[in-house]
């Protein structure tokens, strides 16, 4: 799946690959020590935020998740 911003698609692929590798090779095996993909995610997140702004996509009231953000209570 491509990203919301064409310029962000490669960053999305990099993050997806990093996350999937970490999830399969570390997290599922019980290694919960850190996330090596945080910086890749942040670069992708900045790109997406820029694309959203450039495309004037309304995001009022939308909460974004990311590293070090608390998950909303269910």
The predicted pLDDT at position 57 comes to 77
- Domains of the chain, residue spans: 4-53
The 10 Å Cβ neighbour count of residue 35 is 17
pLDDT digits (tens, 9 = 90+) for 4-40: 778 899 999 999 999 999 999 999 999 988 889 999 9
39 or 68, which is more confident:
39
- Phi and psi torsions of 26, nearest 5°: -120, -65
Give kind and range of the element (H or E) at residue 39: helix 38-54
Is the pTM of the predicted complex or chain greater than 0.85?
no
The predicted pLDDT at position 43 comes to 94
């Amino acid at each position: 799946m491509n990203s919301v911003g064409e310029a962000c698609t490669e960053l999305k692929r990099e993050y997806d690959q990093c996350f999937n590798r970490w999830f399969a090779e570390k997290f599922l095996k019980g290694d919960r020590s850190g996330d090596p993909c945080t910086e890749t995610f942040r670069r992708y997140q900045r790109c997406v935020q820029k694309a959203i702004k450039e495309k004037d996509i309304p995001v009022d009231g939308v909460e974004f998740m990311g590293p070090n953000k608390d998950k909303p209570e269910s």
